[in-house]
């Protein structure tokens, strides 16, 4: 990954708060290159080893509920670019029309979907995004445009790097659906996420940029695997 010149970034990025994090990454250009190379190598290895498991998952999704195998949704990655994220479908077709956020016992989630979400295997197809450069194995989990539009100036710093399959914030907020499920008024779920959960996640994401390095990424990868296993 190569950083764009700061004055070439989208207007919403050109503020003093983002500049602080840009300068941190600018001093770690070699680490950014190593990160991209390691992403490509690891993605290729994972595709080889996970090809058969992904085929099995695809069949389970296809024959356990009506609808396509994959779910696509517009998300935001580096410099505010939009892309269609790819996941194994874990919910009933059209479920996102009832709301973007899910709760622990959401009846829109299929039986197979509950299992895939628990072990995070619904995210496996995103390895192909890593290979294409739209995502990185470790980074900030990509948000939908609706929530990015509510970012504070400093939050745009998290978009200086590709979105991640896993992140420091997603490890800390692995029970996010349970937290959201405790909201008694469904109409308040979006407000709770935007005003309470999102700012907390962004603090972790910004802390990741401050401490960014190859060793840190390796640590977070193992932390993610440990979380899935336990």
In a domain, 7, yes or no: no
Over residues 180-224, the pLDDT tens digits come to 777 767 678 888 899 999 999 999 999 999 999 999 999 999 999
Q: Bigger pLDDT: 26 or 187?
A: 26
Over residues 122-136, the pLDDT tens digits come to 999 999 999 999 999
Q: Look up residue 160 and give its DSSP letter.
A: S
Pairwise CA distance, residues 83 & 90, whole Å:
20
In a domain, 27, yes or no: yes
Amino acid 176: pLDDT: 76
Q: How many domains does the chain have?
A: 1
In a domain, 4, yes or no: no
Task: Say whether pLDDT at 228 is over 80.
Answer: no
Structural domain of 123: 20-229
Pairwise CA distance, residues 95 & 171, whole Å:
25
Pairwise CA distance, residues 156 & 158, whole Å:
5
In a domain, 185, yes or no: yes
What is this structure's pTM?
0.90
In a domain, 82, yes or no: yes
Pairwise CA distance, residues 22 & 13, whole Å:
10
In a domain, 217, yes or no: yes
In a domain, 140, yes or no: yes
- C-beta contacts of 221-227 below 8 A and 24+ residues apart: 221/137, 221/138, 221/166, 223/171, 224/120, 224/166, 224/170, 224/171, 227/171, 227/174
In a domain, 183, yes or no: yes
């Amino acid at each position: 990954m190569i950083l764009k010149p700061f004055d070439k970034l989208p207007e919403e990025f050109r503020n003093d708060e983002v500049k602080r994090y840009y300068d941190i990454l600018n001093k770690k250009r070699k680490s950014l290159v190593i990160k991209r190379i390691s992403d490509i190598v690891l993605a290729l290895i994972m595709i080889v080893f996970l090809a058969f498991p992904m085929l099995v998952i695809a069949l389970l999704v296809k024959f356990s509920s009506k609808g396509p195998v994959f779910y696509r949704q517009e998300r935001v990655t580096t410099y505010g670019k939009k892309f269609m994220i790819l996941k194994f479908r874990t919910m009933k077709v059209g479920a996102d029309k009832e709301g973007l956020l899910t709760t622990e016992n959401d009846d829109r989630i299929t039986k197979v979907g509950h299992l895939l979400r628990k072990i995070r295997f619904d995210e496996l197809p995103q390895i192909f995004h890593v290979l294409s450069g739209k995502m990185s194995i470790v980074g900030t989990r990509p948000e939908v445009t609706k929530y990015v539009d509510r970012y504070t100036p400093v939050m745009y710093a998290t978009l200086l790097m590709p979105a991640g399959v896993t992140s420091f914030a997603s490890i800390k907020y692995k029970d996010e659906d349970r937290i959201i499920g405790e909201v008694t008024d469904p109409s308040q779920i979006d407000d709770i996420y935007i005003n309470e959960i999102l700012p907390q996640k962004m603090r972790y994401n910004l802390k990741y940029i401050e401490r960014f390095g190859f060793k840190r990424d390796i640590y977070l990868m193992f932390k993610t695997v440990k979380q899935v296993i336990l």
